[in-house]
Each structure stands twice: as C-alpha cells, then as structure tokens.
Amino acid sequence: MAARLPSAPPILPGLAYIRPLGSGGFADVFLYEQDMPRRDVAVKVLPSDVREADLRRMFNAEADVLARLSAHPSIVTVYQSGISADGRPFIVMEFCPGSLSQRYRVERMPVTEVLSIGVRMASALESAHRAGLVHRDVKPSNILVTTFGTPVLADFGISSSLIGTQADEVLAMSIPWSAPEVVAEETAGTISSEVWSLGATVYSLLAGRSPFERRERGQNSKDLLRRRIARASYTPIPRTDVPDALQDVLARSMSRIPAQRYASAREFAEALQSVQESLGVSPTPLEVPASEWAPGANPIDFADSALRGPARSRIEREVRRKTAPRTGVASLARDEDTEFTSPERARQRMLPWAVAVAALVGAVGVVASLLIAGVI
C-alpha cells in the first residue's frame, strides 16, 4: 500500500504553524507555536478526507483518554481539542522533541536508564488500568521525551475500555511487541497483554531490537514474527551488563501463558525496582493514583464517532451576589492577600508626602537663614 501524503496544516486560532513533525497511519502531527501562553505545541490532525467512523471514534477516544490521564507525569499532556475551520478534528498536545523510536537501535542504552524508563511506563500503565483503560500499543516509538528529558507515554489512539469491548471493535496491534494472545486475535488487549508489551519494550531498549526479531535479512516478515511470538521462547539479552535478575523479570513478563506473568503493571514495576536496588541504584518512584481515587463520573464513550464542534458555555447569572459572613480562618484570608500597586498610583500616594516634606525643609531653611542674618 502506498504511503499517504501528509495533509496541509489547518489554520487554528491562537496557533502559528511552524513545520510538520510526522505522519501516522491515520493522522498527521504538526509543530505550532501557541500565542498565549507562548510555547511550542504538537497538533495532531485527522485528514479532511477521512470518512470512516472507526477512525473518528479512535481520534475522539484518544482526546478523551489523554484528558483523563495527562496529569500523570509519565503521560503526554493534552491542552485542548476541537474542530478546525475546515472541519478537521485536532488535538493540541505537549511538544516532545525526542522519542525512543530509533535511539535504542543506534546506541547502547545504559541499564540504569532503561530500568528507570520501565518503572515510569509501568506507573503510567497502572494509572490507566485503574481508570479502566488499556493502551494496546506499548512500544518504543510511543515513548516520547519531553524538553526536560523525561520519558512519557503517548499515542492512545487505539486504547479501549477494560470493562468490555464491542463486537465490531477495531483490532490493531504492533506485532513485534504484541502478546501471543493478541497476535492470535484472541483478545484486543488486557492488563496481562500490556505487561507483555512493556516487557518486550524494555527488552528492545536493552537488546537494540525487538525480542523476536532476527539480524538476518528476510527473517522478520510478519508471518515469521507471529510464529516466533506464538512459541514465546525467551532469548536472553546478549549483554554482560544486564544482570540475571533483570533477565528473569523480563522472561516472566513475556511468559507465553498470561497467568504466569506479573498480575499488574505495578507488580512489574516493583520487580524492576528490586533490580535497581540490587544494582545499588535508588529506585525510580512508582507514581500511581491513591486507592481511594476513582475515574470521573462520566465514563469515556469509545463508540463516539461524532464530529464535536465548538460549544458555548451557559452561565446562570445570579440577580444578587450573596456573600457569606467570614469567620475563623476565612476572616483572616484577606490579611494574607498580596497587594499590587501600579507605579502611577504609587507616585500619586507619595506626592502629598513629598510636598509636605519639601515645605518643611523649606521652612527650616528660611528660619536658619534669618538666624544667621541676626534678624531673629
């Protein structure tokens, strides 16, 4: 199938187009500069010729999922979403200048750095799972790097609900990092298959290739990869600096039998932290929501394929503003408010004092002169 040419960047209010960033299977990403507040942003746009309801549904779901999860420090931040003037859905996101898509193939990544990335991504996935969501496409190219050098999980375009899937749900996968049951199309995605994908991703960052990829040419067709993944025979990473404990963690995460893998992304993260401790490295913090936390009252609608246009906010204006009596700590809040005074107002306040002081100085000077002259 011929590669799709990128679409033209849309005209968006408050955003100035800079350059294209890339094109995916069903969307284009452009770099824009936001006017207020001033910053670079990445804008993901659905091409205008897209008519398939499934693609619009996936795009809407990605915007909603990111809005629900982007407060997590290891998930890319979404700023806004909407419809451009020419009718194209778009998502405005944090601009991440780097990714791990090619780095692991061209350089030997340190074990300590990969362990930290693994814990961070496990934290992100655990947070998504607690919100009832699965990412379904965990792989190195979906780990971006922010301007502060922090890895973040991105591209929730094919995410879905853990509660249940629809009969006509689109089955999508990145074969080299997909679990055997996903490759066999037995499931679209589960917590267990996400643990496999993250284990395969960590393996790739250390080995410089995906777990079942071969160096020989002609040995990495989709059919050959599917067969190797179905057998799920773990091959140790050929690096002397990768400890046996880490090899064991990865082997368990990529077990052919789902029940033999780690039961959750959190368990996988804790296993990686144990490896960090054995190496004398401070464990990367596991950042997950508190157990009391629950997702928003309105669940994400993964069946929504409508084009969402701009909406106007309706505000009920009160006829008379009511103020409650200030008591206790609230009565002291006013004393703690920061006061702001413009330079002009400050000058106006100082003027009467300045005049008075000048008059007093002048009077003292006159009296002194008269004393010297002997008049007084």
Region 255-265: what's the mean pLDDT?
97
Task: Give the residue numbers marked as catalytic.
Answer: 136
Banded pLDDT at 354 (limits 50, 70, 90): low
**Which pLDDT does position 262 carry in this prediction?**
98
Write the pLDDT tens digit of every residue in 150-161. Answer: 999 988 765 554
Which of residues 193 and 65 earns the better pLDDT score?
A: 193
Residue 349 lies in a domain: no
**Which pLDDT does position 133 carry in this prediction?**
82
The rounded mean pLDDT for the chain is: 81
33 contacts: CB under 8 Å, gap ≥ 6: 15, 16, 18, 39, 40, 41
Region 304-315: what's the mean pLDDT?
57
d(CA 87, CA 90) in angstroms, rounded, equals: 9
Give the range among 62-71, 194-203, 268-277, 304-313 with minimum mean pLDDT.
Answer: 304-313
Sign of CA dihedral 341, 342, 343, 348: negative
Region 226-234: what's the mean pLDDT?
93
- pLDDT over 70 (residue 331): no
Q: CA separation (Å) from 312 to 86, 92, 300, 307, 368?
A: 19, 19, 21, 16, 74
- pLDDT over 80 (residue 358): no
Sign of CA dihedral 324, 326, 327, 333: positive
Banded pLDDT at 1 (limits 50, 70, 90): very low
d(CA 258, CA 265) in angstroms, rounded, equals: 13
Residue 208 lies in a domain: yes
Residue 124 lies in a domain: yes
**Which pLDDT does position 167 carry in this prediction?**
44
Residue 371 lies in a domain: no
Q: Which amino acid is at 123?
A: S
Residue 1 lies in a domain: no
Tell me the two tokens of residue 33: 């500069």
Q: Which residues on adjacent β-strands are paired with residue 80?
A: 92
Write the pLDDT tens digit of every residue in 104-133. Answer: 999 999 999 999 999 999 999 998 888 888
Give the range among 85-89, 164-168, 235-239, 314-318 with minimum mean pLDDT.
Answer: 164-168
Q: How many domains does the chain have?
A: 1
Residue 48 lies in a domain: yes
Q: Which stretch of DSSP H or E encloses residue 119?
A: helix 111-130
Residue 180 lies in a domain: yes
Residue 217 lies in a domain: yes
d(CA 87, CA 306) in angstroms, rounded, equals: 12
Q: Which residues on adjacent β-strands are paired with residue 42?
A: 31, 93
The residue count of the chain comes to: 376
Q: Under the phi-then-psi rule, with left for phi > 0, alpha for psi from -120 to 50, and beta for the rest, what region is 301?
A: beta
Question: Strand 78-83 relative to strand 160-161: parallel, antiparallel, unpaired?
Answer: unpaired
* Domain region containing 49: 16-163+170-278
Nearest-CA neighbor of 47 among 66, 63, 25, 65?
Answer: 25
Most confidently predicted of 154-168, 221-235, 304-318 = 221-235
Q: Please report, for the domain that includes residue 137, its CATH number.
A: 1.10.510.10
Write the pLDDT tens digit of every residue in 269-282. Answer: 999 999 999 999 99
Banded pLDDT at 9 (limits 50, 70, 90): very high
- pLDDT over 70 (residue 334): no
Tell me the two tokens of residue 42: 């990445």
Residues 304-342 as b/e (b if ≥16 CB within 10 A, e otherwise) read: ebeeeeeeeeeeeeeeeeeeeeeeeeeeeeeeeeeeeee
Answer yes or no: pTM beyond 0.85. no
Q: Which amino acid is at 87?
A: G
- pLDDT over 60 (residue 328): no
